[in-house]
Amino acid sequence: MAIIFYISSAVAVLSTVMVITRMNAVHALLYLIVSLLSVAVIFFTLGAPFIGALEVIIYAGAIMVLFVFVMMMLNMGKKAAELESSWVNPRMYVGPAILAAILGIELVYMLASGSNRAAGFEMVGPKAVGIGLYSSYLVGLELAGMLLLAGLVGAFHLGRRDED
């Protein structure tokens, strides 16, 4: 199973790199779906099958579909991709890359100083998650529900065309 983790990790990193370098938004979106699917595989290897399923259904499914719809509505074609490449200059990667590298070094440094213990030796199934979600985190769950409702109402309100 470990080999699956490493392979999907590599796929995830590569596809994410592709996401941020594509000029065509639809291509980027497809790579993002690949990335999300590989992360879903990683969840399975870590013994979290329920979350893996959610990742596929909600992230790679629902949320990405939203993006697809929006892109359809914006109707971006070849011109958009050309425009995009005129906006992105390879030299622009330097600054953010340095910033991200420093952050990465810091994170790696912190990881290295921790104890080395294995993860994913035990399965945490949907039942445990459900029990936790509806007992200790009930209030959080309700709040998340309200947040979603607010997002729904907000999106509806913003997306509505004016009557005039």
Partner 1 sequence: MTAIPMEHGLLLAAVLFMLGLIGLLVRRNIIFMLLSIEVMLNAAGLAFVVAGARWAQAEGQIMFMFILAMAAAEVAVGLALVLLMYRKFKTLDSDQVSRMRG
Partner 2 sequence: MLSLLWLVPAIPYFSFAILAVFGKRMPKSVSGLLGVGSVGISAVISVLIGIQFISSPPEGDLFLQRLWTWIGVGNFQPEIAFHLDALSLLMMLVVTIVGFLIHLYSWEFMEDDEGFSRFFAYMNLFVGSMLTLVLANNLVLLYLGWEGVGLCSYLLIGFWYKDSYNGAAARKAFITTRVGDTAMAIGLFLLFWNLGSLDIQEVMSSASMQWGTGSGIALAVALLLLGGAVGKSAQLPLQVWLPDAMAGPSPVSALIHAATMVTAGVYLIARTHVIFDLAPIAQAAVAIVGAATLLIAGFSALKQHDIKRVLAYSTISQIGYMFLALGVGAYSAAMFHFMTHAFFKALLFLGAGALIMCLHHEHNMFKMGGMRKQLPLTFWTFLIGSGALAAVPLITAGFYSKDLILWRAWTSDSGSPILWLAGIVGAFITAVYTFRMVFVTFFGESKMQADRKPGVRISVPLVALAILALIGGFIEMPHTLGHFAPFSKFMHSVLPEVHAGQYSISAELLFQIIAVVITLSGILIAYIFYYRKPELSANVAKSGIGTVLGRFFYSGWGFDWLYYTFLVGPFVWIARVNKKDIIDFIYTIIAMICQIFNFIFRQTQTGRVRSYAAGIAFGAIVIIAIVMFT
CA R_g for the chain: 20
By CB under 8 A, the count of residues binding partner 2 is: 10
- Binding residues among 31-50 for partner 1 as defined by CB under 8 A: 32, 35-36, 39, 42-43, 45-48, 50
Q: What is the dihedral of CA 57, 58, 61, 65, to 10 degrees?
A: 160
How many residues comprise the chain?
A: 164
Q: Of the candidates 17, 20, 63, 100, which one interacts with partner 2 according to CB under 8 A?
A: 100
Which range binds partner 2 by CB under 8 A, 9-17, 52-60, 92-100, 153-161? 92-100
Sequence-separated (6 or more) residues with CB below 8 Å from residue 15: 31, 32, 34, 35, 38
Q: What is the dihedral of CA 123, 129, 40, 152, to 10 degrees?
A: 180
- Binding residues among 115-144 for partner 1 as defined by CB under 8 A: 116-124, 128-129, 131-133, 137, 140, 144
Please, what is the minimum distance in Å from the beta carbon of residue 89 to partner 2? 14
Nearer to partner 2, 105 or 155 (CB): 105
Cα 132 from chain centre: 24
Using CB under 8 A as the binding rule, whether residue 101 contacts partner 1 is answered as yes
